[in-house]
Structure 1
């Protein structure tokens, strides 16, 4: 599975644009009165203004080259404060053979940069910048209907990682392990690691494999529809 586009919502749109474009240096693609779009490797990230009460936040991850993890962590620490878990500011996931670090953006999103050693490539770059991000590789889908939405995704060609059974209480990695990109399907009130935040339901939308549009409303109900997606030009 490839995540082509993710659309999230924010109550601090101007701060988010400044953070991702001016501070982190992601390539700016377009802007409207209602939002903006940046390039994240082979994916694009759209941030739109939230017009309701509340402060939406999400967890998403970006894959980075396997040989630039140390450089990426140093780059991030020069720009943001990394969050910690058990007094560590990075983690190795043995099951996935991957290293990650985390930080919060102005909207309170839990942002993860991850090197997946068994699936992600190396880079010829000597040091890391935002242009070395490979893709958006994770985005949460939080709902009260975990099993029903999981079965919907499976029927549309998005399996549970390594054929695992759907867990209604846990976090389900929806996608092929070999592709290194996943939809994180889970219930409310799960604590996101490297944060003190618990998962909540907020609207979002995404396009996968250039052919399937997935949208989640503010109540956690999901719609899927076929699309023909063309990646925006730089």
Structure 2
């Protein structure tokens, strides 16, 4: 599974546009009065203030080249303040293996750069925002994790390693060797490197098998086939 496009809500569209385009340097590929899109490697990320619910925030991640974690961290620290957990501004996921850093954008999204060793390709070019490979993760927060997980399974999106779904923990839906996941979880779970707790907000995910995964403004989960 690959995430082709991701649409998230924001209550602060203009500031978000200035942050992602002017401060971080992403390429804007489309915009209108109530949204803009940026190129994030092979993925497209869109922010919209259309029918915004409350003050939406999400957790999402970008894959970066496997050999550029330290370089990416140095680059990012010159742009934003890194978030910390237990006094540390990075995390080593030894079981993956991977290393990651986190920051918060103007809408309060918890954004992650992650270098997955043995999965992400390497780069010999200096690290820039154009080094980002793709959208690596997006948190999908729903009330009924097991029901939604089964619906994702019907769309051939399974828990990594085909493990059983668990409504008490995070479920990483996707293929381990791709390093791209929809993180299925229930509300009220604290995101690491943050004091924020997972909350249901509208979003739209388009994946490479032609499926569109939607949480609407009522918090309802929908899967559509956009390949026909």
Task: Provide the residue aligned with 1:3 in structure 2.
Answer: 3
Task: Provide the residue aligned with 1:179 in structure 2.
Answer: 178
1: CA distance between counterparts of 2:109 and 2:189?
A: 15
SS at match of 1:177: coil
Pair 1:84 & 2:65 matched: no
1: CA distance between counterparts of 2:86 and 2:208?
A: 37
CA shift in 2, pair 1:17/1:210, >3 Å: farther
SS at match of 1:61: strand
1:217 shift after superposition: 1.6
Pair 1:197 & 2:189 matched: no
Task: Provide the residue aligned with 1:47 in structure 2.
Answer: 47
Contact 2:40–2:133, Cα closer than 8 Å, also in 1: yes
- Could you report, residue by residue, the CA deviation over 1:156-201 in whole angstroms, capped at 9, with x for unpaired residues? 1001011211111211000010111000000000000000000000
- Could you report, residue by residue, the CA deviation over 1:17-39 in whole angstroms, capped at 9, with x for unpaired residues? 00000000011101000100000
- Could you report, residue by residue, the CA deviation over 1:74-108 in whole angstroms, capped at 9, with x for unpaired residues? 11100100000010000011221010000000000
SS at match of 2:61: strand
SS at match of 1:67: coil
2: CA distance between counterparts of 1:200 and 1:34?
A: 23
**1:68-217 correspondence runs (5 A):** 68-125=68-125, 127-209=126-208, 211-217=210-216
CA shift in 2, pair 1:149/1:85, >3 Å: same
Task: Provide the residue aligned with 2:16 in structure 1.
Answer: 16
Task: Provide the residue aligned with 1:232 in structure 2.
Answer: none
- TM-score, normalised to structure 2, is 0.97
- Could you report, residue by residue, the CA deviation over 1:45-83 in whole angstroms, capped at 9, with x for unpaired residues? 000015345110000000000111111101110010000
Unaligned ranges ≥5, structure 2: none
